């Protein structure tokens, strides 16, 4: 290890200190963690109440899914904010920093996080840490492993943490109260020290990210102001690349003024050096820690000392981090920053309003908490792209499109199209500079692709829904289509990180098991075939709008390539009634074989299907029994392959009854709604409600698995409003909402669409039975031809949709030929959009 240490000294006078009584969290009350009732008697909201009248942010419980694998970020951020400031722990499940399990130590309060991701810990850069007591400056514990401590406990044993949109707080066992809030690129910390703290100090940790991966760190302390600047390079969470990020930290007394810290210095590992101002370390490996330490004068105006720390962040430079902080939070006004954040969240959340009469309070809390989490990622890094200069928006933390394209972006279409347009513009700009649309991207670098080129259905979703407004939203139709064609037609040099295995896809019309080549690993051949097929369907939808007739024919044909990995002869072991599976195939047309149970809970080998370069089974993160249901563009064809409606229903039932349905993973998401295509929507409604009842609640372990950047949150939102999206189409599958009325305001159309559930009689707690099945549908007073789907025009026009509910599960989609949801093979997507 080689080190270069430059020490510059300056002297400061020491000041006295004063004390304050211990404070409990009161300014912003802790959200109540409701234990899900196990009875059918619900606690309901009184009166005919629309939730915006009650402040929708007050129904957001930021702690849902913060332990037991949910990996949810509960800290302070704005909608799609770059800065996500929060508490970090030493939990092995600290992918988002936080863990609600009080037995884990707090290690700092860092500025950047992702939410709900798997993989390694993401970001967690630039941790601040309050030290209420040290015998002397040089004796302070600065190393993370030594300084860490527990949180105070509430009477029920849970940590004394509080949170709401734009605000987070905790009480540490050292007696320090910590409060956090944020603007887009700047965090504001408020540290209130206990009575015993006569020389309150704050550690600025430059090096300890979540992966302990820093290289090339640097830190500087301004002797006049106490400003700390610095940065380092770090490893990405889910990929091979590294990124640079920088910070700028300023301090101010809350309720009193001071000109400068009374002591300052830099530290290496657990050794602070007083009066030192700069430390630059050049070394290989990820062992050493370094940062700054500052001592502050106590307040003379109050019985307690409270220090504000403003932390700017930039992926460009420390100077830009300082500029971000100065422009976004110029006055260190903590309460105003909290209020602005809450106002911003309330405006966004109130675009979807629900009538809570007769609805369990927990359902309302689950709904708005889930809606909130759909706006944490991706993050608006505009102005922070170090890779090229552009006037276009730049969004990051696509972690990953494979998780989010199914439900998150269709939900954005319903109520936040302007931000959706900015995200699309940013994705197109990435394609223009890197050659292909982004897939799994984080901290400005490419990460590993999980599935196919899943940016294609995201762009398709936007254009199919908003093509008439694309120009007004500054989205170029030509650039969008060019970006799609790059994915579809141009061979990527590394399909692990971007693009497709295009040459092979076009030659064989599937991805063979035995074509290795160069440019990526030979894995996920079956699941990539299915997702490339859906990606090409999405492109055909855009081509149709642009009147590119030849391309419509071409990409619709490629959308049918899923049949090339369907093997009629494969039988589910132990059940000969289930015949036919998606299977791996060799280039010469001969079949390979993967056990249909592979990677499921029924797999006798207990295999896994996660990202692994040596995995040759053909599937990613799910199993043949599930992927054999994934043809959203042509479920009618899938039903024929599986032997007709009754066989299809039998297979769906077995998937649930034998635990092949995996609520924790995205490939299963559409399965509860697939009964619609066999004309049994009542079964879809029953299954989808059982998913909510059995797998979601409002506790800290209330998610079935990783939230996956809001994928599971958007999934829950759609189920709760009684719909399921078909990305890159103008249709939504229809069920019944959990509320007697739901309204959607779309700012691009300036319309409000209302869905009314007539005969609404609440939601059975078990998810089974009840007056929840759709008997008939009217739109603006006129009978609608299907009980199974709605067209996008309903939301364009601001229509009123009325659902007549019944307790009879044996409802159908209707009588006409267009009652069933559309499929390619039945002409559903052949006409004009």
Q: What whole-number distance in Å separates Cα of residue 243 and Cα of residue 236? A: 7
Q: What is the pLDDT of residue 831?
A: 67
Which bin fits 764, alpha (ψ -120 to 50), beta or left (φ > 0)? beta
Count other Cβ atoms within 10 Å, centred on residue 202.
24
CA 748 remoteness from chain centre: 24
Name, in order, each residue with C-beta under 8 angstroms of 324's C-beta and a sequence gap of 6 or more. 185, 186, 248, 312, 313, 314
Q: How sure is the predictor about 39, in pLDDT bands with cuts at 50, 70 and 90?
A: very low
Q: What is the mean pLDDT of residues 771-779?
A: 98
Looking at the predicted structure, is the pLDDT value of residue 41 above 60?
Answer: no
pLDDT value at position 34?
26
Mean pLDDT of 386-390: 97
Stretch 637-661: mean pLDDT, rounded?
Answer: 98
pLDDT tens for each residue of 424-464: 999 999 999 999 999 999 999 999 999 999 999 999 999 99
User: What pLDDT is recorded for position 300?
Assistant: 83
Averaged pLDDT score across all residues of the chain: 92
Which among 178, 131, 170 has a CA at the least distance from the CA of 154?
170
| Alpha-carbon distance values, 355 to 49, 164, 740, 753, 797 (Å) | 5, 22, 6, 14, 21
Q: How far apart are CA 357 and CA 741, in angstroms?
A: 9
Confidence bin at 301 (pLDDT 50/70/90) = confident
Residue 614 pLDDT exceeds 90: no
Residues 6+ apart with CB under 8 A from 590: none
pLDDT at 441: 95
Res 516: pLDDT: 80
Q: What is the pLDDT of residues 240-289, one digit of tens each?
A: 999 999 999 999 999 999 989 999 999 999 999 999 988 776 554 555 89
Q: Which residue has the higher pLDDT, 23 or 169?
A: 169
Give the pair of three-digit tokens for residue 804: 């007549």
**Residue 102 pLDDT > 70, yes or no?**
yes
Biggest CA-to-CA distance, the chain:
86
Average pLDDT over residues 599-615: 88
Q: Number of helices and strands (H, E) in the chain?
A: 18, 31
Closest to 705 (Cα-Cα) out of 661, 656, 735 = 661
Give the confidence band of 12 by pLDDT, cuts at 50, 70, 90. Answer: very low
Digit-coded pLDDT (tens) for 537-596: 999 999 999 999 999 999 999 999 999 999 999 999 999 999 999 999 999 999 999 999
Closest CA to 117 of 69, 182, 63: 69
Task: Pull the structure tokens for residue 397.
Answer: 């933390």
pLDDT tens-digit map of 151-204:
999 999 999 999 999 999 999 999 999 999 999 999 999 999 998 899 999 999
Residue 286 confidence (pLDDT): 53
Count CB atoms within 10 A of the CB of residue 607.
Answer: 16
Q: What is the pLDDT of residues 698-756, one digit of tens each?
A: 999 999 999 999 999 999 999 999 999 999 999 999 999 999 999 999 999 999 999 99
Mean pLDDT of the 747-772 span: 97
Supply the angle between the helices 455-466 and 477-489 in degrees, to the nearest 10: 150
Question: In angstroms, rounded to a whole number, what is the distance separating the alpha carbons of residues 375 and 373?
Answer: 5
Is pLDDT of 19 > 50? Answer: no
Contact 205, 126 (CB under 8 A): yes
Q: Judge whether residue 665 has pLDDT over 90.
A: yes
Which residues are CB-neighbours of 809 under 8 A, at least 6 positions away?
682, 683, 685, 686, 769, 773
Is residue 123 within 8 Å of 242, Cβ to Cβ?
no
Phi/psi for 426 (5° steps) reads: -65, -40
Confidence band for 5, pLDDT divided at 50, 70 and 90: very low
Residue 352 sits at the vertex; the CA angle it makes with 365 and 749, to the nearest 5 degrees, is 170
pTM for the model? 0.94
Burial class (CB in 10 A: 0-12, 13-18, 19+), 48: exposed
Question: Residue 625: how many CB atoms within 10 A of its CB?
Answer: 27
Three-state secondary-structure class, residue 549: helix
pLDDT, average across residues 519-533: 93
| pLDDT surpasses 70 at 15 | no
Find out whether 416 and 375 touch, Cβ atoms under 8 Å: yes
CA dist list (Å): 598 to 359, 602, 653: 41, 8, 19
Q: How many percent of the chain have pLDDT more than 70?
A: 92
Distance CA 126, CA 707 (A): 24
Q: What is the DSSP string of 313-334?
A: EESS-HHHHHHHHHHHSTT--H
Strands 177-182 and 167-171, by their bridges, are antiparallel
d(CA 722, CA 780): 18
Residue 27's pLDDT is 37
Burial of 346 (0-12, 13-18, 19+ CB in 10 A): middle
Beta bridge partners of 510: none
Higher pLDDT: 281 or 655? It is 655
Q: Give the lowest-confidence range in 162-176, 290-304, 313-327, 669-683.
A: 290-304
Residue 498 · residue 434 · CB < 8 Å: yes
Peptide bond into 378 cis (omega under 30): yes
Cβ atoms within 10 Å, residue 288? 15
Lowest mean pLDDT segment, chosen from 118-132, 223-237, 588-602, 818-832: 818-832
Q: Is the pLDDT of residue 676 over 90?
A: yes
Please give the full DSSP string across 414-449, using - where no structure is assigned. HH-HHHHHHHHHHHHHHHHHHSS---EEETTEEE--
- Give tens-digit pLDDT for 128-145: 999 999 999 999 999 999
The CA radius of gyration of the chain, in Å to the nearest whole number, is 27
Please return the burial class of 619, using the count of CB atoms within 10 Å of its CB with bins 0-12, 13-18 and 19+. buried
Q: How confident is the model at residue 610 (pLDDT cuts 50, 70, 90)?
A: confident
Q: Under a CB-based contact definition with an 8 Å cutoff, are residues 231 and 206 in contact?
A: yes
């Amino acid at each position: 290890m080689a080190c270069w240490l430059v020490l510059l000294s300056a002297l400061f006078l020491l000041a006295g200190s004063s004390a304050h009584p211990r404070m409990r969290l009161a300014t912003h009350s802790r959200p109540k963690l409701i234990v899900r009732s196990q009875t059918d008697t619900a606690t309901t909201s009184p009166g005919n109440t629309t939730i915006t009248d009650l402040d929708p942010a007050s129904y957001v419980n930021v702690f849902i899914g913060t332990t037991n694998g949910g990996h949810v970020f509960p800290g302070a951020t704005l909608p799609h904010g770059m800065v996500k400031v929060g508490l970090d722990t030493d939990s092995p499940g600290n992918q988002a920093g936080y863990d609600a399990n009080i037995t884990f130590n707090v290690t700092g309060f860092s500025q950047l996080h992702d939410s709900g991701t798997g993989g390694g810990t993401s970001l967690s850069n630039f941790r601040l840490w309050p030290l209420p007591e040290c015998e002397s400056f040089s004796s302070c514990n600065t190393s993370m492993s030594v300084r860490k401590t527990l949180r105070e406990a509430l009477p029920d044993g849970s940590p004394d943490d509080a949170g709401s949109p734009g605000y987070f707080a905790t009480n540490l066992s050292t007696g320090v109260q910590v409060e956090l809030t944020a603007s887009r690129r700047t965090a504001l910390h408020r540290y209130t020290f206990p009575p015993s703290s006569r020389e309150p100090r704050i550690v600025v940790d430059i090096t300890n990210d979540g992966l302990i991966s820093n290289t090339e760190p640097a830190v500087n302390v301004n002797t006049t102001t106490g400003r700390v600047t610095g940065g380092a390079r770090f490893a990405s969470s889910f990929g091979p690349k590294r990124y640079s990020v920088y910070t700028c930290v300023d301090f101010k007394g809350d309720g009193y003024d001071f000109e400068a810290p009374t002591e300052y210095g830099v530290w290496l590992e657990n050794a602070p050096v007083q009066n030192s101002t700069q430390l630059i370390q050049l070394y290989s490996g990820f062992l050493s820690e370094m940062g700054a330490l500052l001592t502050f004068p106590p307040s003379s105006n109050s019985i307690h000392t409270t220090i504000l720390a403003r932390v700017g962040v930039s992926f460009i430079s420390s100077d830009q981090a300082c500029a971000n902080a100065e422009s976004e939070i110029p006055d260190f006004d903590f309460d105003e920053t909290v209020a602005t954040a809450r106002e911003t969240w309330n405006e966004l959340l109130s675009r979807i309003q629900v009538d809570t009469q007769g609805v369990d309070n927990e359902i309302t809390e689950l709904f708005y908490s889930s809606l909130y989490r759909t706006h944490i990622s991706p993050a608006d890094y505009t102005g922070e792209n170090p890779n090229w200069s552009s006037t276009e928006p730049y969004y990051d933390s696509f972690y990953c499109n494979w998780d989010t394209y199914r439900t998150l972006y269709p939900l954005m279409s319903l109520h936040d199209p302007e931000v959706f347009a900015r995200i699309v513009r940013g994705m197109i700009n990435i394609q223009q500079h890197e050659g292909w649309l982004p897939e799994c991207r984080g901290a400005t670098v490419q990460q590993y692709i999980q599935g196919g080129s899943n940016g294609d259905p995201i762009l398709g979703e936007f254009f199919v829904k908003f093509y008439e407004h694309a120009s007004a939203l500054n989205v170029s139709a030509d650039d969008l289509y060019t970006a799609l064609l790059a994915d579809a037609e141009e061979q990527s040099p590394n399909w692990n990180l971007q693009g497709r295995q295009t040459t092979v896809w076009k030659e064989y019309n599937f991805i063979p098991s035995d074509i290795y080549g160069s440019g990526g690993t030979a894995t996920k051949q079956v699941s990539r075939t299915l997702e490339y097929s859906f990606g090409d369907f999405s492109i055909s939808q855009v081509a149709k709008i642009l009147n590119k007739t030849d391309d419509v024919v071409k990409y619709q044909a490629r959308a049918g390539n899923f049949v090339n990995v369907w093997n009629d002869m494969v039988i589910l072991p132990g059940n000969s009634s289930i015949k036919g599976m998606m299977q791996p195939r060799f280039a010469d047309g001969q079949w390979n074989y993967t056990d249909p149970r592979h990677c499921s809970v029924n797999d006798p080998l207990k295999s896994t299907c996660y990202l692994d370069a040596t995995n040759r089974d053909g599937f990613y993160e799910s199993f043949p029994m599930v992927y054999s249901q994934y043809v959203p563009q042509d479920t009618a064809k899938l039903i024929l392959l599986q032997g007709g409606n009754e066989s299809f229903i039998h297979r769906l039932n077995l998937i649930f009854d034998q635990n092949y349905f995996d609520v924790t993973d995205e490939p299963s998401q559409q399965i509860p709604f697939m009964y619609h295509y066999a004309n049994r929507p009542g079964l879809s409604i029953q299954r989808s409600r059982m998913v909510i009842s059995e797998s979601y609640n409002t506790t800290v372990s209330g998610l079935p698995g990783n939230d996956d950047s809001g994928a599971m949150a958007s999934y829950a939102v759609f189920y709760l409003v009684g719909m399921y999206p078909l990305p890159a189409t103008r249709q939504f599958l229809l069920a019944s909402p959990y509320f007697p009325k739901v309204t959607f305001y779309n700012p691009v159309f300036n319309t409000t669409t209302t869905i009314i559930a007539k005969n609404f009689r609440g939601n059975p707690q078990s998810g089974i039975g009840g007056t929840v099945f759709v008997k008939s549908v009217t739109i603006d007073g006129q009978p609608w031809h299907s009980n199974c789907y709605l067209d996008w025009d309903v939301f364009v026009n601001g229509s009123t949709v009325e659902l007549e509910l019944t307790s009879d599960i044996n409802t159908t989609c209707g009588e006409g030929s267009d009652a069933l949801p559309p499929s390619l093979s039945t002409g559903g997507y052949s006409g004009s959009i």
